[in-house]
Amino acid sequence: MQSEALQIPSYSHGTSDTALLGETISVNFDRTVRRFPQKDALIVRHQQIRWSYSELAERVEALAAGFIALGFKPGERVGIWAPNNAEWVLTQFATAKAGLILVNINPAYRLPELEYALRTVGCKALITAPALKTSDYIEMLGSLLPELADSEPGALAAKALPDLRWVIRLGHEKSAGMLNFSQIPKRADAASRDRLAALQSRLQFDDPINIQFTSGTTGTPKAATLSHHNIVNNAFFVGRQMAFSPEDRLCIPVPMYHCFGMVLGTLCCVTHGATAVFAAESFDPLAVLEAVQAERCTALHGVPTMFIAALDVPGFDKFDLSSLRTGIMAGAPCPVELMKRVISKMHLDQVTIAYGMTETGPVSTQTSVDDPFERRVETVGRVLPHIEIKIVDEDNRIVPCGQPGELKTRGYCVMPKYWGDPDRTAQAIDEARWIASGDIAIMDAEGYVQIVGRIKDMLIRGGENIYPREIEEFLYQHPKIDEAEVIGVPDAKFGEEVCAWIKLKEGEESSEEEIRSFCEGKLAHFKIPRYIRFVRDFPMTVTGKVQKYKMREIMAKELQVDG
C-alpha cells in the first residue's frame, strides 16, 4: 500500500459546487451593503470610528465621485503610503469603484524605495500619512519633490516623478502643494456621481485593480498586478475555509499594504458581510488583546511572530478571549508548537493556516475549520476551490506524493503580470500558466501539503540536503525556547554548516551545550546546529517575516572574524 501511495502524482485541483464570482469589487461591495446596511462594517479603535455598511458605503461613494471630479480616469494608478486606518479602507473600495489601480506602498519604505515604486508604475497620485513612528513622510516628500512647495494641488511637475500630479495628505494640517484627503469627497457633485454610476457597467472583473510590490531579498521589487477576479474570489473562498458569516468580527493587526490585510482582511469581511476591526495603526500586541476583548472578535489574523508577541504580553491570562473562534496564521512558516499554544490559550479552536504568495492573490492552499487537529497544525491544508497545484523536481516533472519538490500554482488566482515587465512575467509564469513559488513542499495522498523550506534556504552539508524548517520545528519543542530560526553558513570542509538563532522565553537561561544535548539522539548528527546564537530579536520585515539573508550576512562576518 505504501508503494502505491508513493506513485500517486503530487497534483491536486480544488473542486467545488460553489462557482467563482464573476464580478468586480464594486458589485460585490454594493450587494453586501444592500444585504446588511445596519451591520457594523468597520471599527477603527485608534480613530474612534465605528461605521455600519451603509455609512461606509456613503463615504466610499463620495470619495470615488471625488476622484472622478478631480479628473482621475479608469486605469490610472493611485499610490497609498500609510499605516492601517479608515482612510486606507475608504481608498481601497473607492479606487475600485472608480476603476483606478491602487498601488500599495510599504510604510517602511525610504525615499529610494518610494521613488522606485511610484516611477515603476507611473502613479498619478500619492495618498500619504504625514508621519509614522520615526518617519516624517512630509519631510521626505519635500526632499524627493522640491517642486512641491511651489505647486498648486494637482499641478505638480516633478523631475524625479514626471507622472505624479497629486500628493494627497491625511490629517487636518495643510502642506504646500498637497490636497487634504478630507477635501476629495467635497469635490464630488451631481455630474461626477452620474459618471461614477455610468462607469460601473463598463468595469470588467479581469481589469487590473491593485499593484503590490513583492519583498524579494535580491534584486528590485516586482510590481505584482492583481485583478478584481484574483482578489474577490480569493477573499471569498478563504472566508469559506474559516466558515465566515455576517456574525464574524475579524481583528486585523496585519498591515493593509500587504495582501494579508487588504485581501484576507477587509475584502474577506466584505465578501461575507463580516465586521473588520483595527486595533492600532501598526501592530501592537496589547492593543490586539484589548480589541479582541472589547469588540468580542471571533477571528484574528497574524503572522507567527504576532501570535507569539500576543501570548507573551504581561498579564495575558487576564484577557477574555473566549469570543475567538477562527482566523489565519500565515506569511511565514507556522511552528507546530505555536499552533498548539494558540489553539489552547487563545480559544482559536478553528484557526487555519494559509499558504500562498502575492502573485497568487495570495492564497493557494489552506486548512479548514473541520480538518483533523493534526492536519491543521502540521500542514498548510489542501488546494482551494478552482485552483490547481503540483510539486515538481528540478526538471519540472511532477514528483510522487511523499517526495519533496517545488510547489507551483495555476488558476484564477494567478496574477496577469508584473506591471511593465514582460520579461520577468515570462520568467515567473510559464506557457501553461503555472507560477513557481520557490518553496519546497511535500503532498500526501489526500492532497494535504507541508512546506518544508525555501529553495534558497535549503542548505547542503557534505552532500546532505537539510531543510531548516525541520530543525526549527524540533527546537520549538524545547521548553525554554520561544523562537528559533535556522540558516546555513559557509564552511570550508562541508560546504555549509547548520546555524541556529534562538530566542529564549522570558526569564529563561540556556547554553549551547544544553541545546545540542537536547538534539542528540533525536536529530541526525548532520542536522544538529554547529553554531548556536542566543538573541533577543531577529531581523524582520514590516510584515513580520524573518530576514534570513541578513542573519547569514551577520554570521558570515562573525565567522570570518572568529576564523
Domain ranges for the chain: 23-376, 459-562
Q: Packing angle between helix 53-69 and helix 190-199, nearest 10 degrees?
A: 100
> Looking at residues 293-308, what average pLDDT do you find?
95
Residue 433 backbone phi and psi in degrees, to 5 = 70, 25
> E strands of 336-401, at which residues?
350-356, 363-366, 382-383, 387-392
3-state secondary structure of 474: helix
Of 3.30.300.30, 3.40.50.1820, 1.10.150.20, 3.40.50.280, the CATH number of 459-562 is 3.30.300.30
User: Could you report the per-residue pLDDT of 376-409, keeping only the tens digit for each?
Assistant: 888 999 999 999 999 999 999 999 999 999 999 9
Query: Is residue 2's pLDDT more than 70?
Result: no
Q: Identify the H or E element spanning 502.
A: strand 495-504
User: Could you report the per-residue pLDDT of 472-509, keeping only the tens digit for each?
Assistant: 989 999 999 999 999 999 887 788 899 999 999 999 99
Query: Is residue 216's pLDDT more than 70?
Result: no
| pLDDT recorded at residue 454 | 79
Query: Is residue 255's pLDDT more than 50?
Result: yes
| pLDDT recorded at residue 219 | 59
| pLDDT recorded at residue 108 | 85
**In one letter, which amino acid is 351?**
V
Question: In whole angstroms, how far apart are CA 301 and each of 228, 327, 354, 498, 539?
Answer: 22, 5, 10, 32, 22
| pLDDT recorded at residue 333 | 75
> E strands of 129-189, at which residues?
131-132, 135-136, 166-169, 179-180
HSE at residue 104, side-chain half, CA atoms within 13 A, is 29
| pLDDT recorded at residue 562 | 44
Q: Identify the H or E element spanning 79.
A: strand 77-81
> E strands of 343-385, at which residues?
350-356, 363-366, 382-383
| pLDDT recorded at residue 490 | 86
| pLDDT recorded at residue 461 | 84
Query: Is residue 206's pLDDT more than 60?
Result: yes
| pLDDT recorded at residue 217 | 41
Pairing state of beta strands 131-132 and 135-136? antiparallel
| pLDDT recorded at residue 218 | 44
Exposure letters 315-339 (e unless 16+ CB within 10 A, then b) = eeeebebeebbbbbbbbbbbbbbbb
Question: In whole angstroms, how far apart are CA 503 and each of 102, 114, 205, 360?
Answer: 38, 33, 46, 32
Q: How far, in Å, CA of 390 to CA of 447, rounded?
A: 10
Q: How far, in Å, CA of 202 to CA of 74, rounded?
A: 10
| pLDDT recorded at residue 563 | 35
> Looking at residues 78-85, what average pLDDT do you find?
97
Query: Is residue 3's pLDDT more than 80?
Result: no
Strand order in the sheet with 40-44: 49-52, 40-44, 275-278, 249-251, 299-302, 326-329, 350-356, 363-366, 382-383
| Per-residue confidence band for 544, with pLDDT thresholds at 50, 70 and 90 | confident
Residue of higher predicted confidence among 110 and 530: 530
> Looking at residues 37-49, what average pLDDT do you find?
98
3-state secondary structure of 355: strand
**CATH architecture group of domain 23-376:** 3-Layer(aba) Sandwich (3.40)
| pLDDT recorded at residue 1 | 40
Q: What is the Cα 217 distance to its own chain's centre? A: 16
- Specify the range with the lowest mean pLDDT, choosing from 11-15, 66-70, 216-220, 305-309: 216-220
DSSP state of 100: P
pTM of the predicted model over 0.85: yes
Query: To the nearest whole percent, how much of the chain has pLDDT over 70?
Result: 98
Q: Packing angle between helix 512-519 and helix 468-475, nearest 10 degrees?
A: 110
| Per-residue confidence band for 215, with pLDDT thresholds at 50, 70 and 90 | low
Who's near 498: CB < 8 A, 6+ residues apart? 459, 461, 466, 471, 486, 488, 526, 527, 528, 529, 530, 531
Residue pair 197/15 in contact by the 8 Å Cβ criterion: no
**In one letter, which amino acid is 20?**
L
| pLDDT recorded at residue 6 | 53
> Looking at residues 203-210, what average pLDDT do you find?
98
> Looking at residues 55-78, what average pLDDT do you find?
98
